[in-house]
């Protein structure tokens, strides 16, 4: 079954399917390492910000990272990066834990450790587009990937004449930066071209998971429109 029926005047006029272009591994790791209260370890001075690869194991991080950070503090090492790593005997441990980088700064919470997930360069930044055409091109290709066949099939089986797909782009999305950017900044530019939608989809909605940015909507009769998010 599709997710929702859209009703006007007491009659259904469309079917709606909701989906997300999400990096599942990064989202799951983020929830595991950042869920719950601030992580405090009494054996540490703290103030550590640790960037993890999406393949890092949360249980291993929780059990083994404090000893590594304590060793770094004892050696007076306050930063791990691609161009400045720890001693050779600790480098293997860093790789084993899936640590991309880490740095220590002053903190009001002694023993604190914070986490973020490292994104590929094409998803973490890039050129800021003048139009939303990069999003339009990306979503046209993304909707034709095999992973979307389930959502498309639900829309077809609805039997509705209008078949709407609502796409959410979370902060850990599989979309490249230039496709996400128009959706996450205030008054982000709309596309100037029509999407090449598969036949199963007649109308498209899209938004980022951030508070900023608008909802983009495309229909064959009007083209692209924007709507403000509810505050």
pLDDT digits (tens, 9 = 90+) for 93-108: 888 899 999 999 999 9
Report residue 228 as tokens.
């403000």
Beta bridge mates, 99: 52
pLDDT band at 85 (very low <50, low <70, confident <90, very high): low
Confidence at residue 89, expressed as pLDDT on a 0 to 100 scale:
74
Count CA atoms closer than 13 A to 114's CA, side-chain side.
11
Task: Assess whether pLDDT exceeds 70 at residue 83.
Answer: no
| Contact between 46 and 113 (Cβ < 8 Å) | yes
The arithmetic mean of pLDDT across residues 204-227, rounded, is 96
Which carries the bigger pLDDT value, residue 122 or residue 111?
A: 111
Residue 87 burial by Cβ neighbours in a 10 Å radius (0-12, 13-18, 19+): exposed
Which is it for strands 112-117 and 39-40: parallel, antiparallel or unpaired? antiparallel
Which is it for strands 203-208 and 162-169: parallel, antiparallel or unpaired? parallel
Confidence at residue 124, expressed as pLDDT on a 0 to 100 scale:
74
Task: Quote the pTM value.
Answer: 0.81
pLDDT band at 84 (very low <50, low <70, confident <90, very high): low
- Alpha-carbon distance of 219 to 201, in angstroms, equals 10
Span of 15-29, 75-89, 179-193 with lowest mean pLDDT: 75-89
- Per-domain residue ranges of the chain: 4-25+122-227, 42-110
The helix or strand, by DSSP H or E, that contains position 205, with its residue range, turns out to be strand 203-208
Rg value, the chain, Cα: 22
- Alpha-carbon distance of 211 to 182, in angstroms, equals 13
Distance of CA 141 to the CA centre of its chain: 18
């Amino acid at each position: 079954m599709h997710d929702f029926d859209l009703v006007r005047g007491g009659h259904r006029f469309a079917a709606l399917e909701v989906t997300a272009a999400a990096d599942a591994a990064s989202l799951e790791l983020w929830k595991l390492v950042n869920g719950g209260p601030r992580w405090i370890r009494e054996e540490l001075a703290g103030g550590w910000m640790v960037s993890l690869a999406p393949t890092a194991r949360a249980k291993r991080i929780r059990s083994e990272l404090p000893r590594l950070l304590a060793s770094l503090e004892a050696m007076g090492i306050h930063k791990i990066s691609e161009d400045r790593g720890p001693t050779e005997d600790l480098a293997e441990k860093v790789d084993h834990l899936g640590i991309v980088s880490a740095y220590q700064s002053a903190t009001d919470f002694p023993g604190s450790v914070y986490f973020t997930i490292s994104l590929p360069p094409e998803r973490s930044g890039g050129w800021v587009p003048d139009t939303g055409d990069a999003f339009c091109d990306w979503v046209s290709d993304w909707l034709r990937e095999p992973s979307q066949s389930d959502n498309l099939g639900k829309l077809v089986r609805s039997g509705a004449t209008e078949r709407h797909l609502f796409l959410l782009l979370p902060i850990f999305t599989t979309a490249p930066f230039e496709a996400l950017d128009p959706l996450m900044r205030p008054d982000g530019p709309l596309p100037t071209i029509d999407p090449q939608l598969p036949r199963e989809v007649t109308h498209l909605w899209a938004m980022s998971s951030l508070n900023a940015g608008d909802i983009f909507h495309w229909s064959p009769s009007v083209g692209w429109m924007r709507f403000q998010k509810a505050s």
